[in-house]
Amino acid sequence: MTKDEIFSGVQEIFRDIFDEDDLVIQDSTSSEDIEDWDSLNHINLVSAIEKEFKIKFALGELVSLQDVGEMITLMIEKMK
Amino acid sequence: MNSILNYPLDNAKILRKKKSIRKALIANGHFTQKNIAILGGSTTAEIKNIMDLFLLKNGIEAHFYESEYNQFYEDAVFNTESLTTFNPDIIYIHTTNVNIMQFPQACDSKEQVNALHDAEFKKFQSIWQALSLLNCPIIQNNFDLPQNRTLGNLDGYDYRGKTHFINNLNNAFAEAASQIEHLHLNDIHYLSSLIGLNTWFDRALWYQAKYAIGFSAIPELAFSLSNIINAIFGKTKKCLVLDLDNTCWGGVIGDDGTSGIHIGTETAVAESFTSFQKYAKSLQERGIILAVCSKNDLNNAELGLAHPDSILQRDDFTAFKANWEHKHNNIIDIATEINIGLDSLVFIDDNPAERDIVQLNTQEVSVPNVGSDVIQFIDYIDHNGYFEAITLSTDDLNRHTYYEQNKQRNDAQSTTTSYADFLKSLNMNAKINAFTPLYLDRITQLTNKTNQFNLTTKRYTMSDIEAIASDQQYITLYGRLSDKYGDNGLVAVSIGKIVDDTCHIDCWLMSCRVLKRDMEMAMFDALAQQCLQRGIYKIVGYYIKSKKNSMVAKLYKNLGFTQVDCSGDNTQWEIALTQDYNNKNQHIMVTHD
């Protein structure tokens, strides 16, 4: 799976969770940029990503991530 | 959009798309408003969100109260004030094995373990007791098993085992729920084993966010809860309509003949149909009405059921439509014949084209996409919770007999000359009395599921009915009717509220199985007599229009009331009583205790 494919898959998840069909995310997108991105929705995001990409994040792995770009880098790492 | 919230659930999709699902549900429905309090022993935010969807699907727009994290005990026992202000229609206590205060330890004596058990159970008893002041149904989880067992298999039978401890608590909960009318158990012990403990509990999610349930189990939990809530509000289904060929037996009776169809235990295929028939039969035994809707010649259809290995017999079906008409027309006829709404029917057919056309033409009927393999059919009926029940009343168990007797009455009607003669020939006896504890259960059930002969469609909880029964301000009446064909059971309920010198009819309903029998007259006579005894000479009646109660729109008019007010389709009526009141009922012999 290419980075672009992962990126667009993640974007679809963001659109579903935040119910905004035209939401566009970038590497630099963080919880600062999306109003509803609170801790509860964060769990929703992570859980949807885990399901969709069949990966599992370890405890604490997500805590230090700053933005979407870093998250996708971690995902690529996991899918190798 | 509704179908996504049916078995089998696509949990990932529901969780991901919950916002758009919600929008779609809100856009196409009318809703009853209900207040639902969730008292959680762990995080409940997403449980609330998903419950919301399932309730909307069932026509309930919920307003939620959520306790602070793990404050279920404090909220129930010390904070009843804010719960009282919230005025819940339902309280849900979401506790799981993480909330057990102390599990036994390996060094504990039997007495110590018993003490732990008692302490845990008493804690919950005190919760239920405190909440009973709120007069509303309580839904309580029992306990799920933990994923790990330090004692291995011994954990299940040594008195120090966690599994053993939980099983005992669950037994105690079950006993309590069978004693306390308004306490209902959400069986997460079953649910978690159905979906598997590894999916049910997600350690990471517990550590990170204190959810005592895995995300993909949340829709399953919410579905289960919404089914119980459906049952509490009397919204569950009443009748299972079955196709015959390749649904009740394998093969086509018209082509294959009795000896050619698959039923019995000779082959795997035959056995799978037999097990489906057994399931349908067990539903019938607990009060679900069965009907046949099949494209077949009538005699062929009956021949199939006469097969020596057939579990289902012709007599098990209250309505039987085997002909070449469109199935949706037959289904409408079935509903009319049994006298229930289309939304009380579940239709099972192996043929996808037939399912589609039935669903298209009768949208209220539940038509699960069961596929074409009979092995799956039971799960589609069972796991959709269509027939969820909170009690099994004697009336439920006898329901099939009532409908059978009704058919005999209808037959008698066609051989008697005038309707009055027919009524006379029935030798009807009614018992009409004030509410008594024995019948509060049935009375509550009737107020929640009677839709057609129901003047105000007011729904009552068991606690409401208890309160009304003991309040002098109310005249309460229930009516039982029997005739030469049998006992119809408790079929009519009236509640009059006395304000100053006037009796206001808050609730007046009757089961449709005794329509046109003069029973409504007898009930009104009894109400009028009660009023006169109390020196009340004015009765006010209300007709509040619902989707289903048009049959009683003119009831007050026909009884001689005068219309005094009208807003939209709702009308208000009055009648003055005189001491020389003449009974309107002509045909029923009425007795009062």
Q: Is the pLDDT of residue B137 over 70?
A: yes
Give the chain A residue whose CA is nearest to the CA of B23.
A19
Compute the nearest-CA separation of A36 from chain B (Å): 12
B558-577 confidence digits (pLDDT tens): 999 999 999 888 999 999 99
Which CATH number goes with the domain that contains A75? Answer: 1.10.1200.10
Predicted confidence at residue B23, as pLDDT, reads 94
User: Residue B457 above 50 pLDDT?
Assistant: yes
pLDDT value for B441: 86
pLDDT top residue among B440 and B413: B440
User: Which residues on A lie below 8 Å from B12 (Cβ)?
Assistant: 48, 51-52
Bridge pairing between strands B32-40 and B60-66? parallel
Mutation for testing the A interface, residue in B16, B18, B43, B216 having most A CBs under 10 Å: B16
Sign of CA dihedral A64, A70, A74, A77: negative
**Cα separation, A59 vs A57, whole angstroms:** 7
Give just the sign of the alpha carbon dihedral B296, B298, B300, B301: positive
Give chain B positions within 8 Å (CB) of A16. 16-17, 19-20
**DSSP code of residue B215:** G
Mean pLDDT of the B246-256 span: 94
Q: Which domains does chain B have, with CATH numbers?
A: 2-232 (3.40.50.1110), 239-382 (3.40.50.1000), 427-591 (3.40.630.30)
Residues of A in contact with B15 (CB under 8 A): 44, 47-48
Comparing alpha-carbon positions, the chain B residue that sits nearest to A60 is B208
Q: Which residues of B touch A56 (CB under 8 A)?
A: 204
Residue-level pLDDT at B512: 78
CB proximity list for B561: less than 8 A, separation 6 or greater: B539, B541, B573, B574, B575
B-chain residues near A65 (CB < 8 A): none
Q: What is the pLDDT of residue B263?
A: 95
Please say whether the beta carbons of B195 and B217 come within 8 A: yes
Number of domains in chain A: 1
CA quadruple B202, B204, B210, B212: dihedral, nearest 10 = 10
What digits encode the pLDDT tens for the residues B267-314?
Answer: 999 999 999 999 999 999 999 999 999 999 999 999 999 999 999 999
What are B204's two structure tokens? 């990471």
- B169-173, B389-393, B419-423, B586-590: least confidently modelled range: B419-423
| Sign of the alpha-carbon torsion through B356, B359, B365, B367 | positive
Task: Please tell me the distance in Å from B45's CA to the nearest CA on chain A.
Answer: 8
pLDDT band at B2 (very low <50, low <70, confident <90, very high): low
- Contact at CB, A39 and B45, closer than 8 angstroms: no
DSSP H/E element including B459: none
Instruction: Give the per-residue pLDDT at B1.
Output: 40
Whether the per-residue pLDDT at B320 is higher than 80: the answer is yes
What is the reported pLDDT for B50? 98
Mutate which: A11, A47, A51, A57, vs B, most B CBs within 10 A? A47
pLDDT at B335: 94
CB contact under 8 A, A40 and B19: no
* Residue B528, token pair as written in the block: 């009028």
Arithmetic mean of pLDDT over chain A: 91
| Model confidence pLDDT, tens digit, residues B388-403 | 999 887 777 777 777 7
Quote the domain boundaries for residue A70: 3-79
Q: Give A-chain residues touching B207 at CB under 8 angstroms.
A: 59
For residue B414, the model assigns a pLDDT of 66
Total Cβ atoms within 10 A of residue B368: 23
Average pLDDT score over residue span B510-515: 84
- Asked if B123 has any chain A CB less than 8 Å from its own CB, the reply is no
pLDDT tens per residue, range B44-92: 999 999 999 999 999 999 999 999 888 999 999 998 888 999 999 999 9
Give B223-246 pLDDT, tens digit per residue: 999 999 999 998 899 999 999 999
How far off is chain B from A48, nearest CA to CA, in Å? Answer: 6
Mean pLDDT, rounded, of chain B: 93
Percent of chain A's residues with pLDDT above 70? 100
- Nearest residue of A to residue B208, measured between CA atoms: A59
Locate the chain A residue with the closest alpha carbon to B46.
A40
**What is chain B's length?**
593
What is the chain B residue with the closest CA to A42? Answer: B209
Please give the ipTM for the structure prediction. Answer: 0.94
Residue B415 token pair: 């051989």
- Tell me: pLDDT of B443 over 90: yes
